[in-house]
Structure 1
């Protein structure tokens, strides 16, 4: 249903205002009449104006500043000027620059006024349709980017940033259903101006009232029930939009305006359906992908455990390396996405050993050079196992490069310095740290201080100096919990030449 247009008439002549009022009383308009620029500015600060009919000259000033204010708030507004039959050239040029739709020359009759306003309403409808078309195209483009990601945090961030921009909102937030706590909890939030919302607080038990259909809410008491806020902040208008996919509510999208912007309209609520629909579909895809990813990870974890089951001398190695790698990555300032990749890569770094024969993996005596060459192939075997599984791609550098050295004497590629991917340089440090501090088939563990000294002694040769130093600092700062490193066994000793031990370090 089309909203009634609001017409603001500004003229210092009370008789002209009366004539206009009587002429347009039957038109589908909300009519506002002002005699002064002051009263007109007050109306403009509170209302969105669709049409303006204003005298060009209002005492000692013109109405041009007022018209600019109208256009700034509503670019589609239709402006009609009332002026003398012979305006100055200068004023005529300036008026044209402001995008005036039509003119009425004084004195005018009611027939002319009604005809001009009716044409203005037709023009307004066309402008609104064009604006809606542009908005719809823009929303579809934005929603394509929203629907093009399955990473939850990125998906929610794109949705909220688009909502802030497209719907002139001060704040946008999404509450997601928490199956453990059995309630809706704040998942992501974006604010146009951060400062007014610093006191924002969400009740830990979630909203009291949940609408299963899109709603515009303006009553303060109802707003508090739907979206609990800090009592220090007043919300003038709120949209509550459920994010539904396959009949299931995935979350709640909220848009908020304060009293400085007119309330949300039903047209904006309809337009939001485009963005909300794509966001809901994206959330469902993200959920399904997470299930698939968890299934893959369960399988891969089982494979990693199978490797450890075959090599009794490295019991707990994967778990310890995963903990050390994540701790070191935090020390290096890596972000959440990188930390997720670290966990995945460290779990899988030795997956290629599943392709190493038991006769070599658990040989009680020294490996021959030929056998050691087979052992050295496990990084490449690991990559072959994982290749083609898209979401495991970030783990590949950890698998392939964890035996490379900073001086280029590692394997399988012999890369040197910063040509070795950072993932490999990080894994080289934590893998060696665990090797030194764990019981091995050819010796007892050498202790934590020995591991720290090794990092110092071989910084710049075996290890990237920056990564080695970060590990040392993490240890000295007490950021590494020794209890997390105590998952070890004491296998029977077997001999292995020192030169081979110095090469493999695991």
Structure 2
């Protein structure tokens, strides 16, 4: 890896003694005492990573992280925060941080985190997969707009045009109360719409739309490509997405067609004029199922993984006597816990042999990416925290923050045990499934080291009472198997 230019914003506090100016092997460091000077430095010279201390000025620094993530997508952002602050860790990830380190820390720990985070973002996450995740992030704005048709239509048109690199994009939606059709249109070159602006919005009658559609069809013979997708949710179509490319050779790929279909589903929910709470609940349920399905597309043996994990987590929660709301939150967190793996290369996820240290570092990044996705989609903060920390270990040797014991949110400790059992008992590309006996033995062995003993006991109690299915789900068997201990390396 070439040298990394790193900008450190703020200070970890007076007691840590971190040598700011020295840098590390292959890392050149600059220091900005405040957020104000950051943009000036970024304009003046290339920066590969920005480390933002949240030991002070937290709100200002969180806003800085959000701005950097939006304006400088190629820069790796690492949040540095005091220990025992899981809420702050989740907030940092939600604002766009790609990595986190906990204070106090050694200088070499920080340099290692910088190298690993930059490496992950430079070459391993496939560009197409990253681009495909942006519609999920834009869902936050669509749902937060309060159902105003103009805002929703404009933002949806902008998202479609940007994500599909279209020359033109439009969204039309029927307003049931007035019988009029609302239209939002955007272009890449800034020329389009009723008023000539780059992002026009207007309303027309169905008859006027028919005339416009006829003209567009007559124009279509000149070349280019048009792709349309209905805005549909719950079997109800509320509008149409249209994208166009002017050049004959610019075909829409199959993945781009799938992306437009996804946008059509996600974008439809905010346009339906029903009770806000009902609409948001349905949209969240659809999103949860979509995220769970997306995270399982890599491998046939993962089908049903999220549903099984949700059942295990809820069973554990019942034996720990958590309230009904936490049981529902556990179900949601379990269904979406591995969505961040969408950003990990299939080559790594399908590798039949042991992962290299570099590959394992890449896989570890899925917790941060998953938390970013859920935070952007406005999932509750506790669910974001559980997904972020579900690979922490009870002894403090897990990731991403190295939390230990009660520092780890209870929901994350529950997910860790449920996930471990599911991974061991279900076949994967790298091994055959194990029956419940060695799985239970390994959970008992790992009490108080990898797992919370209380949570393990609750799981075993649920298992003994028949509340957890001990039958192995059908899955593709690998040519060779690993022991339970070897398998647990992939969930530790």
TM-score normalised by the chain length of structure 1: 0.41
Larger Rg: 1
TM-score normalised by the chain length of structure 2: 0.42
Higher relative contact order (CA 8 A, sep 6+): 2
